[in-house]
Structure formats: C-alpha cells, structure tokens
Amino acid sequence: MATVQDIEIRDSAARTAQAADELQDVQGDKMVLNMGPSHPATHGVLRIVLELDGEIITRADPDVGYLHRGDEKIAENMTYTQFIPYTDRLDYLAPLANNVAYALAVEKLLGIEKDLPLRCQYIRVMCAELARISAHLLGLGAFAMDMGAVTVFLLIFTEREKIYNLAEAISGARFTTSYTRIGGVMRDLPPGWLDQCQKFCDEFIPALSEVETLLTRNRIWVDRVRNLAVISRADAVDYGLSGPNLRGSGVEWDLRKNQPYLCYPDLEFDIPTGSIGDCYDRYLVRMEEMRQSVRILQQCIQKIPGGADNKTNELVNVPDGKVVLPPKQKVMTKMEELIHQFILVTQGMNCPPGEIYFGHENPKGELGFYINSRGGGTPYRMKIRAPSFVNLSIIPKIFPGCLISDTVAILGSLDFVMGECDR
C-alpha cells in the first residue's frame, strides 16, 4: 500500500488561466472593490483598493496611514528615554524586540554599545528571540485562520500566553513592556525566570511540531499557498523587503549574521531561506526561524554570565551615571548621584552631535532608527524605518493576476503590523 501520495499543485498562472476561461461569459467592465480598513484579514487598518476583472485582480492600491500617530514628531519633543514606551507601540506584537532595537540605536549614537555588560547583552538577545517567536506565532496563527484553519490560531495562543507570562515576569507588563533602558535594561532577570524560559523551550518544540502537522503537508493549505504571489530574488531586493519576506525569496541576509550586534557572534544558529519566494516559502522560513530562536534561547540559558540568580553580581547596565540612572539608595545619600539623576530626568543624557543609522533584525524585518542629533537630550530628527511599511509597498506588484480569495493568503504571508507601518 502506498503511504506517500503525490500532491498535484498547479501554479497560480494555470489557476488564473482556468479561472479566466470560466469567467469568459461574465466578463464585462472592471469593478473597483474596497477592502478595509476594517477587514479581518488586513490585520489592523490597512485599506486596499482593488480593481477587479471578474474575480481576478487587475490593480491594487494599498492605502496606509489610518494608524498614523506622528511618532517621529513626538520623538523630537522628548528625551531619548521617554521615547522607549512609544517603541512598544510600533510593532505591537514584538514590543521587546522594538525596545532592544531602539536602545541599541541610541547607544550607537552615544558610542557605548561595546561597553554593554555581557549579561545585559544575553538578556536582550533572549528578549529579542522571545519576541520573534511570539510575533511569528501570531503571524502564523492569523495567516492560518484567514485560510480557514482556526485550530492553529487556538494552538499558538497557548504558546504565546507563556511568552506573555515571561514578558510579564521581567518587565511587569504583558504587552507594553518598555523593558530596555539606554545603556542596559530596566532590571535584572527575576528569580526562576531562566527555568521558566527553559520550560517554555522544552514545551514549545513539540507544540510547534503539532502545528506543523496541521499545515505543512496539508493538501488544502499547500494548494492555497504554494506558487502564490511569487516574489523573485531581484524584486525582493529592489523593493527593499527585509526579514522573512526577503529570505523567503532566497536572499541570505540577516542582520544578526551580516552585521552582528550584541552577543550574536557567540551563538550558533542558521538562517533559513526559501527557494521560490512564494507564500509557502515565507511560511516555511518563519517556521524554521522559530526553531532557530529556540536554539538561540537554549544557548543563552546555558551561557548567560551570572546564571539564573546572578550570584556573581554581574552588571546589567553600563556603569555610567551620565547615561543610566544611578541606584536609588545612592541618589538619596550621595551628592554626585543626585545631580546625575536630576540631569538625566530633566534634560536627558547628553548625546554628541552626529547622525547614525542602526538596523535591527526584528521579527517583521529590518527595524531601523536614523537619529540626527544636534547634541543634548532630544533627537533633532528621528526617522523610523519600519519593515512593515516597506514590505507592504510590494503589494501593487504582486496582487495583479491573483484571485480575490488569494488576497488574504498573500497578506497573511507578508505578515505586517499597521502600528509599525503607519507609525
């Protein structure tokens, strides 16, 4: 008895051609259909104006900006530290990763990124990877749910809940973490956190494998996502895609490897890439990235200086009173610390004039901060390079020729967040 069955997959061109034949009789004038901004498959407030010929999309015009809050303007009017909570609200599915990205950017401006204590670097890497798993899980769950596989959505939320618990344990908040500070983190890991994290890692891989059995070889799933919205290597680079969308098209580019920061050079992990660049490849890349993130987490748990309870009193902040708030007890008893505290809170740290760009490998892609400083505690101009914004700009290129029911699959595979896109 045969146990392996061949799956026949027609490419999108063939499907489109067949659909076009069937629709020959009813083809007439083109119709304009408005999708969003409040549509369950647009994951927030994306609006797409679709021009349809029957069921086939002939033109797509994404309309973004419904969630624009003027973050860049706000940043010009507050100190660097005060902007940290705003970074939570960029990619609100991975606030910890945004915190890390922003802190690293300001530290680059200050020139202290090499002075970060090793324990702090490990903590930040763990935060970023937990955020990556959490964001990919939600991306995957929403993607699958839009395609009718609601079970996946429920399964992944069990796992995400554990990540939220971990985030809550370190930062006190489940969602808006604001965990990093310029020059370090808010506080050291709480007791038992590493064990909890280890437990999560152990339970996560079987759970992910279970999800994978529901999708990866599922006939319906494969039929709907394979060969759909193929983005060629050249297009992916030309349109500035980043993250899993870029790697899905076969471009091996990951800032953690190519422009290493924090302690990533000390950690072993692989960069998965796709071969065709279709929705299925992007899905597979995200699945593998989660496994790699767990691999990174497990190495961090082993290697973190100070271990679980930090008996050796490793620092988690840069020991510089002009950047990081001094300990409360010293502020209350020592003159110099009191002055530092006062200056830091009222005016912010004194950044040198100059301009830097720092790109961080966020779950959605490259989250970059361009900071133009004229000295002092506030940026003169801060541009946020949001990966979702750039990733969405390829929609007018890949939508035409697809069926209207493919839109939800393509949007799910692009995995964007409007909070970050609109800033």
The C-alpha atoms of residue 143 and residue 137 are separated, in whole angstroms, by: 10
- Cis status, amide bond into 244, omega within 30 of 0: no
Among 77-85, 277-285, 298-306, 403-411, the segment contacting other proteins (CB under 8 A): 77-85
The C-alpha atoms of residue 398 and residue 283 are separated, in whole angstroms, by: 17
For position 319 contacting other proteins by CB under 8 A, the verdict is no
For position 375 contacting other proteins by CB under 8 A, the verdict is no
Long-range contacts of 219-225 (CB under 8 A, 24+ apart): 219/7, 220/147, 220/148, 221/144, 221/147, 221/149, 222/7, 222/9, 222/280, 223/7, 223/9, 224/147, 224/406, 224/409, 225/147, 225/278, 225/279, 225/280, 225/283, 225/409, 225/413
Q: How far is the CB of 44 from other proteins (least distance, A)?
A: 14
Quick one: which of 39, 381, 403, 404 contacts other proteins (CB under 8 A)? 381
Q: How far is the CB of 313 from other proteins (least distance, A)?
A: 31
Q: Which residues pair with 365 in a beta bridge?
A: 362
Q: How far is the CB of 199 from other proteins (least distance, A)?
A: 37
Are 9 and 280 in contact by the 8 Å Cβ rule? The answer is no
* Residue 116 or 166 having the CB closest to other proteins: 116
Judged by CB under 8 A, the number of residues near other proteins is: 48
For position 378 contacting other proteins by CB under 8 A, the verdict is yes
What tokens appear for 256 in the block?
């953690």
Please, which residues have CB within 8 angstroms of residue 5's CB and are 6 or more apart in sequence? Answer: none
Quick one: which of 359, 363, 412, 419 contacts other proteins (CB under 8 A)? 359
* Residue 77 or 405 having the CB closest to other proteins: 77
For position 271 contacting other proteins by CB under 8 A, the verdict is no
Residue 103's alpha-carbon distances to 73, 356, 371, in angstroms, are 18, 13, 12
Quick one: which of 372, 400, 403, 404 contacts other proteins (CB under 8 A)? 372
Query: In 54-64, which positions are buried (b, 16+ CB within 10 angstroms) versus exposed (e)?
Result: bbbbeebebeb
For position 191 contacting other proteins by CB under 8 A, the verdict is no
For position 99 contacting other proteins by CB under 8 A, the verdict is no
For position 348 contacting other proteins by CB under 8 A, the verdict is yes
For position 389 contacting other proteins by CB under 8 A, the verdict is yes
The C-alpha atoms of residue 194 and residue 190 are separated, in whole angstroms, by: 9
Are 404 and 47 in contact by the 8 Å Cβ rule? The answer is no
Helix, strand or coil, per DSSP, at residue 218 = coil
Are 344 and 325 in contact by the 8 Å Cβ rule? The answer is yes
For position 259 contacting other proteins by CB under 8 A, the verdict is yes
Binding pattern for the stretch 206-245 against other proteins, x by CB under 8 A and - elsewhere: -----------------------------x-xxxx-----
For position 60 contacting other proteins by CB under 8 A, the verdict is no
Query: Scanning the structure block, which residue is given the tokens 């050291």?
Result: 188
Among 124-132, 164-172, 311-319, 342-350, the segment contacting other proteins (CB under 8 A): 342-350
Q: How far is the CB of 374 from other proteins (least distance, A)?
A: 10
The C-alpha atoms of residue 341 and residue 349 are separated, in whole angstroms, by: 10
Among 60-68, 154-162, 326-334, 400-408, the segment contacting other proteins (CB under 8 A): 60-68
∠ CA 91-92-94 to the nearest 5 degrees?
A: 75
DSSP notation for 244-294? HHHHHTT----HHHHS--TTGGGS-------SS-SHHHHHHHHHHHHHHHH
Strand duo 31-35 + 180-181: pairing: unpaired
Quick one: which of 179, 253, 261, 399 contacts other proteins (CB under 8 A)? 253
Among 105-113, 200-208, 288-296, 305-313, the segment contacting other proteins (CB under 8 A): 105-113
Quick one: which of 39, 108, 303, 334 contacts other proteins (CB under 8 A)? 108
For position 347 contacting other proteins by CB under 8 A, the verdict is yes
Q: How far is the CB of 254 from other proteins (least distance, A)?
A: 11
Residues that bind other proteins in the complex, under the rule CB under 8 A: 64-65, 68, 70, 72-74, 77-79, 82, 108-109, 111, 235, 237-240, 251, 253, 258-259, 346-348, 354-357, 359, 366, 368, 370, 372, 377-378, 380-381, 383, 385, 389-390, 392-393, 397, 422-423
